[in-house]
Amino acid sequence: MILGQARGMRRALTAALLAGTLTASGTLVSATARADDYFTPLPDVGKHSWCYASGFNQETPAINSMENVEDQTVVDTKYESACDSATDVKWFEKPTSFFSVGEFGRTECKDRQNALPERCDNWYVYLNMSLINSSTYPTVQRRQTVCHELGHTLGVRHYSHPGSLYGYTTCMVSGEAEVGSGSWYKKYDQHHVTAHINPWFNQP
C-alpha cells in the first residue's frame, strides 16, 4: 500500500514536471501555453490497446491511426478483440443526438484508479460520423478526427483552431478540415511527439 502510494506520488510528480506545471520548488504555476499542457488524466505507459464497440465501422482509419502511432512514437499498440476495463481505447460511433452542435468527436475517461487519479485505464472515443461524412473533406475529416481523439488518449491536447498556432501540421488541430490534402491530418507534430508522448511513455 505504502509502495503503491509512493509510486502514485512519483507518477503524479513526473506528470506535473513533464507538463511544466511544477517549479523546482514544487510551487504550482500555470502553463504559459495551453498546447504545451498534457491532457489529463494521462494514459498507462504500457502498450496502448484498443478494441471496437459493437456497430463501429471505422476499423480502417482506427487501424491506420494506431499504425501511425507506432511509426511516429515510441508507443506500442495492441488490438484486443474483446474489450474490457483495462483496454486503453474503445472506439464508438454515436448518432448526432449524442453530441453538441458541430462536435466531431469526444474522448472520455471511463476508468481511473483512486490511488492513481491522474491515470486513465480506459478511454471511450466517440465519433460523430454523420457530421464527419457531411464535412467538406469527409475522407480527410474521418482520418483526422480518429487521429485527433487518439491523440487525447496519448495525453496530448489539441490546438484550438486550424491555422491558429501550428497551422496544418498535425491532426491535433481542432474542428473541420479546411485543407483536403497533405499528410497533416493523420500525423502528430514533432512537438507533441518529442516533448509529450515519447517522454511520457519512456518512463520506466
Which residues are near another protein by CB under 8 A?
Answer: 34, 39-41, 53-54, 83, 94-95, 97-114, 117, 120, 124, 145, 148-149, 152, 157-158, 160-161, 164, 174-176
Q: What is the C-alpha separation between 159 and 154, in angstroms, rounded? A: 15
Dihedral angle, C-alpha 146, 147, 152, 153, nearest 10 °: 80
Q: 57 or 202, CB closer to another protein?
A: 57
Q: 10 or 98, CB closer to another protein?
A: 98
Q: What is the C-alpha separation between 61 and 45, in angstroms, rounded? A: 23
H or E segment and range at residue 61: helix 59-72
Q: 95 or 204, CB closer to another protein?
A: 95
Report the nearest approach of another protein to the CB of residue 75 (Å). Answer: 19
92 forms beta bridges with 126
Contact 201, 73 (CB under 8 A): yes
Q: 24 or 29, CB closer to another protein?
A: 29
